Structure 1
Amino acid sequence: MINSKPLSSKEFMWAYKKSHNGNTPSDYNDLLSYLNLYINFKLKVLDAREMGLDKNTTYQEEIKTYESALATHKKISNTGKDYDYLLTEYKEGVLMFNVSEQKIWEKAQEDEQAVDDFYRKNKQNYNKQLSEIRGEVIADYQQKLEEDWLKNLREKYPVKINENELKKLAKL
């Protein structure tokens, strides 16, 4: 559950199998590791919705274009759970990309002072001057921004994992 809203175990397993070439979970720890990635993804999507990014006209047009493309290609029936999961995955993926762009990538690219400050605070981790390794420092700064963002999201939106359900899924 995220913020008291249940996540579908069927949708979760669909996503897991899709990212693991159709394979079922090898063990509980593997499934738990993927679940944490999945939860982070869902938290970012929730944040994007809270920011109103799903109301953005460009976003809505992109989703309509994707739905039209799906209907045209007919690679998947536009009814049933697979279609719903695929469409949800796309919608949420675009939202996650858009919110990450605002919260992480643009911030790291546009805030020179923050990158400089990050470099100075972490200078012991680097053997070269900032001008020589700026790309590496920006990547590390983006990682720090994401970690802080996820920490804040987990504080803002309570996450509860049903261990018994996860154990059942690991045995499927």
Structure 2
Amino acid sequence: MSTAYDTLQTYLNLYINFKLKVLDARDMGLDKSASYQEEIKTYEDALNAHKKVGVSNKDRDFLLNEYREGVLMFNVSEQKIWSRAQEDEQAINDFYNKNQKNYSKPLNEVRGEVIADYQQNLEENWLKSLKQKYQVRINENELKKLARL
């Protein structure tokens, strides 16, 4: 395959992962929380206050949607990955012990690396479960056509 195809496929996978996380956040009701609603309202008010001449409502709506989804993705990632990795000492110890062959030093010396690896593991498992829950199909022929453009 070409470099253009590989680049496009990498970007598409990142986009799919992002959208899956947003779907999960909505399923969890994170978009209904008062703090989320307040943050979105504040951003929308700021957008309206700084409305630039020539910016269409379509562009404004696009920006607002991107912000909404970005905040949802951040909030769900915080709950599912970052907070868990920072707060669950037993899980960090278990992960270190299970993967000790990957570390040449004691846990107290490589704690940051172990936490980063544990977060990566949590995210991979989460995405795997999301891809089972939400079936995603990629039209490979269309992707190849796009890569040739």
When the two structures are superposed, what TM-score results if normalisation uses the length of structure 2?
A: 0.91
Alignment length, in residue pairs?
146
Match of 2:107 in 1: 130
AA aligned to 1:33 is T
Give the conservation status (yes or no) of the 8 Å contact 1:108–1:115.
Answer: yes
Aligned-pair CA distance for 1:47: 0.3
Structure-2 change in CA distance of 1:72 and 1:169 (3 Å): farther
Q: Which residue in the other structure is 1:112 paired with?
A: 89
Q: Which runs of 5 or more residues in structure 1 are unaligned?
A: 1-25
Aligned letter for 1:79? N
- Report the 3-state secondary structure (helix = DSSP H, G, I; strand = E; otherwise coil) of the residue aligned with 2:55: coil
Query: What CA deviation, in whole Å up to 9, does each residue of 1:74-95 have, x standing for no partner?
Result: 2472502x32221111100000
Residue 137 (structure 2) aligns with: 160
Paired AA for residue 103 in structure 1:
K
The alpha carbon displacement at 1:62 in A equals 0.4
**How far does residue 108 in structure 1 lie from its aligned partner after superposition?**
0.7
> CA separation in 1, counterparts of 2:77 and 2:41?
22
SS state at 1:159 partner? coil
The CA distance in 2 between the partners of 1:83 and 1:164, in whole Å, is 33
User: Could you report, residue by residue, the CA deviation over 1:10-53 in whole angstroms, capped at 9, with x for unpaired residues?
Assistant: xxxxxxxxxxxxxxxx7222111100000000000000000000
Cα distance in structure 1, aligned partners of 2:144 and 2:44: 35
Aligned to 2:55: 77
The equivalences for 1:29-44 within 5 A come to 29-44=6-21
Asked if 2 retains the 8 angstrom alpha-carbon contact of 1:119 and 1:137, the reply is yes
Return the alpha-carbon distance in structure 2 between the equivalents of residues 101 and 91 of structure 1.
15
Q: CA deviation at 1:167?
A: 3.3
Preserved CA contact (<8 Å) 1:71 1:78: no
Decide whether aligned partners of structure 1 residues 77 and 45 sit closer, same or farther in structure 2, where only a CA change above 3 A counts.
same
Q: What does residue range 134-145 of structure 1 map to in structure 2 within 5 Å?
A: 134-145=111-122
3-state DSSP class of the match of 2:57? coil
- Give 1:121's aligned residue: 98
State the 1:98 CA deviation: 0.3
**Match for residue 21 of structure 1?**
none
> 2:9, 2:40 → 1: CA distance?
30
User: Is residue 109–residue 138 contact of structure 1 (8 Å, CA) maintained in 2?
Assistant: yes
